[in-house]
Amino acid sequence: MSVTLDKGTEGLTVRDRIAELGQRVLDGGQINRDEALDLINIESNADIMDLLSWANRIREHYKGNKIHLCSIINAKAGACSENCSFCSQSAAYQTDSPRYGFVDPEPVQDAMSEAKENDVTAVGLVAAWRGLKEGPMLDEVCDRIREMKENGKSRPDASLGLIESQAVADRLKEAGLSCYGHNLESSRRFFPEHCTTHSFEDRLKTIQFLKNAGINICSGGIIGMGEEREDRIDLALEIRAIDANVVPVNILNPIPGTPLENQEQLPPMEILKTIALFRFILPQKEVMIAGGRTVNLRDMQSMVFTAGASALMVGNYLTTLNQPVEKDLQMLKDLGLDPDWDNNFSDQISSNADCGSRCNSSNKPAKELLPA
């Protein structure tokens, strides 16, 4: 049966339309919002498998068989002032999340040593607080980053909330930080549904400071929070506009005590379809599968690479458990994939063509990365 996906493709089957758009991306082109919405609204499992196959081709074309591995250190846990509805570390909710102050040097060095043993590309220092400003805590953070850079093979990353000024971002760069994790979390439209203590524009402003300092950006979001499919597409397009280097795709793991504790989980095929759309929209970026994969994908975890993922978070998450690193490494080996030690993003070219003032190469300072 012939199924049309938009007015410009009368007579094309869904399979042919997927192939047309996939080939365009392979040839260096982009898909637009309407085309992405067409793809994410595909319902037939057979057609979804065609979509995944093309996403896999795109991954192999731009990323080869290398998989970027990342792990994190929960450097400061609990009692966060922000009210993100998905997070067990918010002081606004009663959860079983641990609470402790900023981490001493020893656990950080232990994490770096373990990362080296397991071929982990990057280790991220993550803290549960609103953000960073000038003061003694920034001094301590910079000390940890220097220690990570001096004593480990893995790239030292950090995810430390909102950046209050350009001076803070510059200090992080001077300490040796090369990549900062700051998720947009969701689309601009949906953001107020899960956070009201800061705004989507606050997050964009932080990313501007970081890019001005010459720091690479790790920015993605969480799917399965009750958003519409178009919100996921809009999130991916925002990420394309800010030209993030690494794009974490988290899948909500509902935590008791949070407002989303009873949120219905996404079906695995819906998750894989979303990953594929991120690859179509962000063909040269590290699309990383992060939190929630074990509980949501279960025995289908290895299919994230078929769906276009080129990076994986390994080890435990901030407040929930992951499967053992050894099992992930075996999964990669079984799939003929290798951990990627090229951790300077040298294979990436800016994916931006016509995204206006928010566009800038990861190799150039951001001057106009401002909210619309």
At 30-54, the pLDDT tens digits run: 999 999 999 999 999 999 999 999 9
Phi-psi region of 298 (alpha: psi -120 to 50; beta: other; left: phi over 0): left
Is residue 11 over pLDDT 80? no
Averaged pLDDT for residues 187-216: 97
Instruction: Render pLDDT for 62-104 as a digit per residue (tens, 0 to 9).
Output: 999 999 999 888 888 878 999 999 998 898 898 888 887 887 8
Dist. CA 326–CA 318, nearest whole Å? 19
Poorest-confidence range of 118-122, 181-185, 244-248, 267-271?
118-122
Percent of the chain with pLDDT over 90: 66
Given a contact cutoff of 8 angstroms between Cβ atoms, the answer to whether 248 and 183 are in contact is yes
Lowest mean pLDDT among 120-129, 132-141, 195-204: 120-129
Question: Which residue has better confidence, 107 or 80?
Answer: 80
State the CB neighbour count (10 A cutoff) for residue 337. 19
pLDDT tens digits, 128-178: 889 999 999 999 999 999 988 887 778 889 999 999 999 999 999 999 999
- Burial class, 169, CB count within 10 angstroms (exposed 0-12 / middle 13-18 / buried 19+): buried
Q: Is the pLDDT of residue 2 over 50?
A: no
pLDDT greater than 90 at residue 120: no
Nearby residues of 318 by Cβ (< 8 Å), 6 or more positions away: 72, 74, 77, 89, 126, 128, 291
Report CA-CA distances (Å) from 218 to 24, 149, 253, 267.
26, 18, 21, 26
pLDDT at 321: 54
What pLDDT does residue 316 have? 57
CB 157 within 8 A of CB 178: yes
Topology adopted by domain 65-358: TIM Barrel (3.20.20)
Q: What per-residue confidence (pLDDT) applies to 232?
A: 98
**What is the 3 state secondary structure string of the chain?**
CCCCCCHHHCCCCHHHHHHHHHHHHHCCCCCCHHHHHHHHCCCCHHHHHHHHHHHHHHHHHHHCCEEEEEEEEEEEECCECCCCCCCCCECCCCCCCCCECCCCHHHHHHHHHHHHHCCCCEEEEEECCCEECCCHHHHHHHHHHHHHHHHCCCEEEEECCEECCHHHHHHHHHHCCCEEECCCECCCCCHHHHCCCCCHHHHHHHHHHHHHCCCEEECCEEECCCCCHHHHHHHHHHHHHHCCCEEEEEECCCCCCCCCCCCCCCCHHHHHHHHHHHHHHCCCCEEEECCCHHHHHHHHCCHHHHCCCCEEECCCCCCCCCCCHHHHHHHHHHCCCEECCCCCCCCCCCCCCCCHHHCCCCCCCCCCCCCC
pLDDT value at residue 358: 43
Q: Residue 371's closest CA among 211, 215, 202, 178?
A: 202
Per-residue tokens: 344: 């300077």
| CA angle (78, 298, 93) in 5-degree steps | 20
Per-domain residue ranges for the chain? 7-60, 65-358
pLDDT in tens, 305-343: 999 999 999 875 444 456 788 899 999 999 999 987 666
pLDDT(370) > 70: no
